[in-house]
Structure 1
């Protein structure tokens, strides 16, 4: 399939409009219609209904493939450009909010850094497509176990830190005086669902056999301080790395004792080689500290 046609199709399906897709892509509406017709002829299937504009069953199936295919093409282009270009003196770092622990912050240079805090699943894609030189991702894992990252392109990951995790409770909570807590005992508690600011509830369910941990409130941001304020106000519990949970006013951070899991942080690099330029210095500092 011609990737130009595929990109046009994805844009039309996303915007549900031929005219809006034409504006977004810088084409005429006639050209967009020709692209869709050519793709449908190539595949021998109708991909879109016209009124309203919406994917057919075959079109929905194509959309499942299209995102990873186009991302892989962008990653290939970025990889070639990265190899051919001179090393960049400035660093573009994509990270999750809870990956920015004290060890990571100490490794950053005093200047020349652009820091982007992204949702967890977007960090590998940012590195793969070249919008970031390095990425930092984190999650819940058994000690020394690697994280499971989306397969977006050839990427290399390095473990750069592990630390204990704590349940953040209001200081008035009945369990606030405990020396430790077991995750299974908290499966029916009220939880904050904050997939991009704390450790996602899906990670907790995975560690607890796939069930429990219903959300009392969903927070769709990346600000850890906003998440801890919600926990302090009693809107729900949250699981955080110890460094992020300690010292939050009006809360108690109780260590998680069972199962034996840690907060793991990994460095994400493009391709199979070590990074170059400013990215190399930060990567070396992080690996040395690890």
Structure 2
């Protein structure tokens, strides 16, 4: 059955006549009659008996009217629920982000959303960029905050990317290092043991060292920026860390050597095509910035 015709039938049944329903609907009487006739052909039995004083509902019509009332009630509830979502009186959004962003960028953004829209439910997932993008492609999350270096990661079909900003990468050395003060370059560090991070960070280091003419001595590997700083503080090597990692945690026993030659990493938010038009997602997208 055509749902629109069922709702027209309901209007006629409740109004008591075709002319009265036509006025309520803003239609012409012949147009309403045509839809009623088409509906009766679909169900195979009369639903209304026409008379000089209006219409009389048949047994089949009373059965359909009861169902139509239920449908109308559910549609009204759906309309109210959709309006609540559109007006951000309710809604939810799921965000995956890497650890240093979860410790710096994300809390401020989520707090701002909660302040403006208390009934928006934001769920956070700790995930490195490859895992976050996989979750996004599967539909397990709505937004993925990721990072990359000079080359952007190709996105899957139907995914979009929006730049959030960029941050510098710094050299981290122990205070006893001869490179804790004065000029320093990567070539100077060719004999030092390195503490490397995730595969993307490691690839960035390898590329920088290759351009400088050497291969780094990879002594320790850990994604944890707190552990990396502790290893450096203990004199077990040197490492590169982005600004966010040092903002989230700064070990007092390390020396940070800023230098543009250590590169920058870009930050971006990824989402499925059209998700930026969903009110709850749009609200969080608008708050995600450095």
- TM-score of the two chains, using structure 2 as the length reference: 0.57
Other structure's SS at 1:278 match: helix
1:5-154 aligned at under 5 Å gives the runs 89-100=91-102, 102-109=104-111, 110=114, 112-141=121-150, 147-154=151-158
Residue of structure 2 in register with 1:238 after alignment? 239
Secondary structure of the residue that 1:274 maps to in structure 2? Answer: helix
Across the aligned residues of Structure 1 and Structure 2, the Cα RMSD in angstroms comes to 2.8
Mapped contact 2:161–2:270 kept (Cα < 8 A): yes
Alignment of 1:160 with 2:164, yes or no, is yes
Whole-angstrom CA distance in 2 between matches of 1:99 and 1:182: 28
More helix by share: 2
The CA distance in 1 between the partners of 2:158 and 2:185, in whole Å, is 37
- Other-structure match for 1:266: 268
1:139·1:265 contact (CA, 8 Å) conserved in 2? yes
1:134-175 CA distance string (max 9 Å, x none)? 11111333xxxxx42144333111110212221111222221
Q: Please tell me whether the aligned partners of residues 155 and 271 of structure 1 are also in contact (alpha carbons under 8 angstroms).
A: yes
Residue 254 of structure 1, CA deviation: 0.6
Counterpart CA distance in 2 for 1:244 and 1:258 is: 18
Who wins on radius of gyration, i.e. which is larger?
Answer: 2
Task: Give, in angstroms, the shift of residue 187 of structure 1.
Answer: 4.1
> Residues 187 and 265 (structure 1 numbering): CA distance in 2 closer, same or farther, change over 3 Å?
farther
CA spacing shift, 1:281–1:263, aligned 2, 3 Å = same
* Cα distance in 2, alignment partners of residues 243 and 119 from structure 1: 14
**Gaps in structure 2 of 5+ consecutive residues:** 1-84
CA contact (8 A) 1:183 1:256 kept: no
Is 269-278 or 245-254 further displaced after alignment?
269-278
Q: Does 1:182 align with 2:191?
A: no
SS at match of 2:245: helix
1:252 paired residue number: 255
Contact 1:181 1:258 in 2 (8 A): no
Q: How far apart are residue 272 of structure 1 and its match? A: 5.5
SS in 1 for 2:123: strand
Q: Secondary structure at the match of 1:160?
A: strand
Deviation at 1:236, TM superposition (A): 2.2
Judging changes above 3 Å, is the alpha-carbon distance between structure 1 residues 188 and 282 closer, same or farther for their aligned structure 2 residues?
A: farther
8 Å CA contact retained: 2:275, 2:282: no
How far apart are 1:203 and its partner, in Å? 1.2
- Whole-Å separation in 1 of the counterparts to 2:190 and 2:140: 38
Distance change in 2, residues 1:243/1:95 (3 Å): closer
Deviations 1:47-78 (A, max 9, x none): xxxxxxxxxxxxxxxxxxxxxxxxxxxxxxxx
Shift in alpha-carbon separation, 1:277–1:243, aligned structure 2, 3 A = same
